[in-house]
Amino acid sequence: MSFYRERMSSGLDIKNEELYGGVGDGGVVGFHCFSCWNITSKMSEDEIYDDYDVDDDSAEESGNESADNEEMDYEYSTQEIDFDDIHSSNRSIGKLTRQKSFEVLDRSELVSESRKLIKEVMDVLSIPSEAAVSILLRHMKWNKEKLIERFMDNQDKLCSDAGIPNLRLDKAVDKSLQKFSCLICLEDFPPSQTFALSCDHRYCLACWKLYLECKIGEGPECIYSTCPAPKCKVKVHEDAFKKLIESVAYEKYSNFILKSYVDDNPQVKWCPAPGCVYSVRCDRKERKEAVTCKCGFQYCFNCNDSEIGDHMPCPCSQVDKWLQKASDESENVTWMLANTKKCPECRSPIEKNGGCMHMTCRKNAGGCGFEFCWLCRGPWSDHGSATGGYYNCNKYDKSKAKEDDEKANDAKTELEAYMFYYHRYESHKNAMKIADEQRRNAHQKEQQILSKFDVRSADTKFLMEATEQLLRNRRVLQYSYVYGYYLDKKSNERNLFEYLQEDLEKHTNQLSTYYELSLDKLDDYQAFIKWKEQVTNYTRITKKFLDHFVEGVAGGLTGSHHNN
Amino acid sequence: MATRYAKRLQKELMELQVSPPTGIRVEEANDLSRWVIGIDGTTGSLYQGEKFSLQFRFNDGYPLEAPEVIFIGKPPVHPHIYGNGHICLSILYDHWSPALTVLSICLSILSMLSSCTEKVRPVDDSVYVSRAVGKSPKDTR
Ligand SMILES: [Zn+2]
Ligand SMILES: [Zn+2]
Ligand SMILES: [Zn+2]
Ligand SMILES: [Zn+2]
Ligand SMILES: [Zn+2]
Ligand SMILES: [Zn+2]
């Protein structure tokens, strides 16, 4: 891994020098020409794409890029006017072929899936009634194989246990009766206004309706409602519900059936995003990539949690461990955080309202004007490419780590080390929330731009792309600090990891800064175009860095680097 | 109370007042939503000669929901009846059916008393009674 060391020590001073690296060495491929981010503003779009072509060609040579990326590369080199359209549609095709392992289902797809299952059972067992099979399937938690087995084994027992004895549905009314007395409302009715299930417990239609609607009001268990007669175990089937209640209530009932279909099925889960109506089918046992719902939420299918979301590069178990630790340590951490959110120079309280880590202690808010890094509280002038200075912000201080070894049993030091990672984890998590807000507000920004400059709406697409990229980067960065916390403190993997993390963090912060630029600062069309190029370019760059990071963690860190 | 089922309650009350079965009588029903029914320990049972009072409370959900039924005054000493008058009987809770009536509840309680072989309170009586202060038996399960 000498390549990484070399580049680390040369830091960011390298300019206009092309670096391709990692070929055949653990699967980390394709580093970029540094010029594409150091002099971004002077580059035309074509030049940027050319750069990517060169890069990806080298990657192809190394045989490590997947086929769909190659396809994209051809598009990069074309000079179509509506470049972004082709580019993004191509990207989504590439994604589809790569992520076939999950499937987003809407309500109608769930309905047809569950109907299909019912149909299959009807065919196999030669049961003509859909409503009866639906009861049997729900009784067997939608497990078709188990149902068929139990049915073959003892049909009568299964059917009466399930509440549909002899697979009979309704009991026809004796038309010769003059009138019939309902035991619920104690009134008389003509037989035509009554209904009974196979058990012949007959009630008036009005009482049936009130009874079933009352059950639906009680919640999901309503799909297992029994006949209202005391101690009667016969289940109310779907057709009876349909016949006896209003369509609005029936809709609710059908949704509960679908809910049971999803809840009882380990391969299908509801998307955890608040208010989302989709569900996702995912057949693989081990999580590899996140699933992406049609609502736009990207998350780990296994954890299935709206707060956790996707947690690349960490394995699920690590996230569990981390969250457990976070709750164990929360009191200590709260205290530490409360006591450190101050300007490092003048101790004024600092409010963080942008996604960027570049903080300014505002003079108009009584501060001192000091510019510093939110993560390490060091002066901002020591950071980033502007000064070419070495960016040392994602690493836990080496000397501290040494002390760690000496005072291995010192709990306070351990807490400090944890705090380092926790603080960064939290900062990126919050920055992610801001990025999410920016993504939702991108439309407003677009409108402002359209009214201020004479541009086409295609010229503002980069806003959405930038915010989506920011969101992805922040999420990965957030969990990268969990991953980093559990990485062996002295391993080679750690060096590479921190190196990749640093790159991603630095450029993500830069993208944040560019994106958050106030529109007031753009005087004319030229300035707008320049800004657009900066943002577009950084979006692409950080995408590449994100890919490197993810690939690096997936392959390079654990693959052929067990030297220690 | 929903008019539809207010009518049912009227009918039930009238039936009980006009032709009450032996050992069951309406003691109080000025308010349609709260009745007191008197029951007598059946002949040949451990409760022969004893008189008890049951309080029924009906809400708008009746008969789709069970009424709240408790003993008032001195409750019978029985392994399924707590010292505070709460009754451990499944048809009053999970196994309620809208086709059950005040009369059928009274008959169930009488049969529960008749089948008793030893006059004792439930084993968890004191714990339950202190926990259930001021609560409906429907909320303590
Ligand atoms: Zn009726
Ligand atoms: Zn029945
Ligand atoms: Zn969703
Ligand atoms: Zn997970
Ligand atoms: Zn300050
Ligand atoms: Zn810093």
Query: Residue A455 — very low, low, confident or very high, per pLDDT cuts 50/70/90?
Result: confident
Is the separation of the CB atoms in A467 and A439 below 8 Å? yes
**What are the C-alpha distances in Å from B120 to residues A128, A459, B72?**
55, 85, 18
Ligand with an atom nearest the CA of residue A390: 6
**What are the C-alpha distances in Å from A357 to residues A39, A400, A482?**
22, 23, 19
User: Closest-CA residue in chain B for A227?
Assistant: B97
The per-residue pLDDT for range A112-132, each reduced to its tens digit, is 999 999 999 999 999 999 999
Residue B116 among the catalytic residues: no
Q: Minimal Cα–Cα distance from B4 to chain A, Å?
A: 8
**Interface with A, mutate which of B90, B97, B111 (most A CBs under 10 A):** B97
> Does any CB of chain B come closer than 8 Å to the CB of residue A228?
yes
Would you say residue B141 lies in a domain? Answer: no
Which residue type is seen at A14? I
> Does any CB of chain A come closer than 8 Å to the CB of residue B12?
yes
CB burial of residue A208 (10 Å; 0-12, 13-18, 19+): buried
Mean pLDDT for chain B? 92
Of A186, A210, A228, the CB nearest to B97: A228
Average pLDDT over residues A232-248: 96
Average pLDDT over residues A308-334: 85
**What are the C-alpha distances in Å from A249 to residues A91, A226, A256, A552?**
43, 17, 11, 53
Give the distance (Å) from ligand 5 centre to CA of residue A522: 28
Chain A residues with beta carbon closer than 8 angstroms to that of B61: 214
Q: How many residues does chain B have?
A: 141
Would you say residue B113 lies in a domain? Answer: yes
Secondary structure (H, E, C), A132-186? HHHHHHHHCCCCHHHHHHHHHHCHHHHHHHHCCHHHCCECCCCCCCCCEECCCCC
CB burial of residue A175 (10 Å; 0-12, 13-18, 19+): exposed
Mean pLDDT for chain A? 75
Q: Which of A370-379, A417-426, A521-530, B36-45 has the lowest mean pLDDT?
A: A370-379
Q: Is the pLDDT of residue A402 over 60?
A: no
- Across the interface, do B5 and A185 touch by the CB < 8 Å criterion? yes
Which of B74 and A39 is assigned the larger pLDDT?
Answer: B74
User: Closest-CA residue in chain B for A185?
Assistant: B8
Q: Is the pLDDT of residue A563 over 60?
A: no
Chain B residues with beta carbon closer than 8 angstroms to that of A181: none
Ligand with an atom nearest the CA of residue A197: 2
Q: Is the pLDDT of residue A36 over 50?
A: no
Q: Is the pLDDT of residue A172 over 70?
A: yes
User: Closest-CA residue in chain A for B7?
Assistant: A185
Q: Is the pLDDT of residue B2 over 60?
A: no
- Across the interface, do B12 and A186 touch by the CB < 8 Å criterion? yes
Catalytic residue selected from A356, A361, A373, A393: A356
User: What part of B 69-88 touches A (C-beta under 8 Å)?
Assistant: none
Domain boundaries, chain A: 9-60+409-554, 108-263, 279-326, 343-398
> Cα(B133)–Cα(A403) distance, rounded to whole angstroms?
61
pLDDT, position A173:
85
Give the distance (Å) from ligand 1 centre to CA of residue A181: 8
The residue to which tokens 């029914």 are assigned: B37
Q: What is the ipTM of this complex?
A: 0.89
Across the A:B interface, residue pairs with CB atoms under 8 Å apart total: 40
pLDDT, position A62:
39
- Across the interface, do B63 and A184 touch by the CB < 8 Å criterion? yes
> Does any CB of chain B come closer than 8 Å to the CB of residue A218?
no
- Across the interface, do B95 and A231 touch by the CB < 8 Å criterion? yes
Q: Which of A314-323, A451-460, A510-519 has the lowest mean pLDDT?
A: A451-460
Secondary structure (H, E, C), A75-136? HHHCCCCCHHHHHHHHHHHHHHHHCCCEEEECHHHHHHHHHHHHHHHHHHHCCCCHHHHHHH
> Cα(A473)–Cα(A539) distance, rounded to whole angstroms?
10
Q: Is the pLDDT of residue A564 over 50?
A: no
pLDDT, position A498:
87
Give the distance (Å) from ligand 4 centre to CA of residue A287: 7
Instruction: Enumerate residues 6+ apart whose C-beta is below 8 A from B99.
Output: A183, A184, A201, A203, A228, A229, A230, B63
Which of A337 and B76 is assigned the larger pLDDT?
Answer: B76
Would you say residue B100 lies in a domain? Answer: yes
- Across the interface, do A230 and B61 touch by the CB < 8 Å criterion? no
**What are the C-alpha distances in Å from A171 to residues A259, A429, A539?**
29, 61, 68
Q: Is the pLDDT of residue B43 over 80?
A: yes
Give percent above pLDDT 70 in chain A: 69
Report helix angle A316-338 to A411-452, nearest 10: 90
> Does any CB of chain A come closer than 8 Å to the CB of residue B63?
yes
CATH number for B114: 3.10.110.10
Would you say residue B25 lies in a domain? Answer: yes
Fold of the domain built from segment(s) A108-263: Herpes Virus-1 (3.30.40)
Closest CA to A482 of A315, A351, A327: A315
Instruction: Give the Cβ contact number of residue A439 at 10 Å.
Output: 19
Q: The domain A9-60+409-554: what is its CATH number?
A: 1.20.120
**Interface with B, mutate which of A182, A205, A207, A232 (most B CBs under 10 A):** A207
Q: Is the pLDDT of residue A289 over 60?
A: yes
Would you say residue B1 lies in a domain? Answer: no
Is the separation of the CB atoms in A508 and A474 below 8 Å? yes
pLDDT, position A50:
36
Closest CA to A183 of B18, B39, B11, B67: B11
Q: Is the pLDDT of residue A45 over 70?
A: no
Query: Residue A339 — very low, low, confident or very high, per pLDDT cuts 50/70/90?
Result: low
Give the distance (Å) from ligand 2 centre to CA of residue A226: 7
- Across the interface, do B95 and A232 touch by the CB < 8 Å criterion? no
> Does any CB of chain A come closer than 8 Å to the CB of residue B120?
no
Q: Minimal Cα–Cα distance from B5 to chain A, Å?
A: 6
Residue B14 structural domain:
6-136
**Interface with A, mutate which of B1, B8, B103 (most A CBs under 10 A):** B8
Ligand with an atom nearest the CA of residue A289: 4
Chain B residues with beta carbon closer than 8 angstroms to that of A210: 4, 64
- Across the interface, do A229 and B64 touch by the CB < 8 Å criterion? no
Ligand with an atom nearest the CA of residue A202: 2
pLDDT, position A379:
77
Query: Residue A524 — very low, low, confident or very high, per pLDDT cuts 50/70/90?
Result: confident
Give the distance (Å) from ligand 6 centre to CA of residue A542: 19
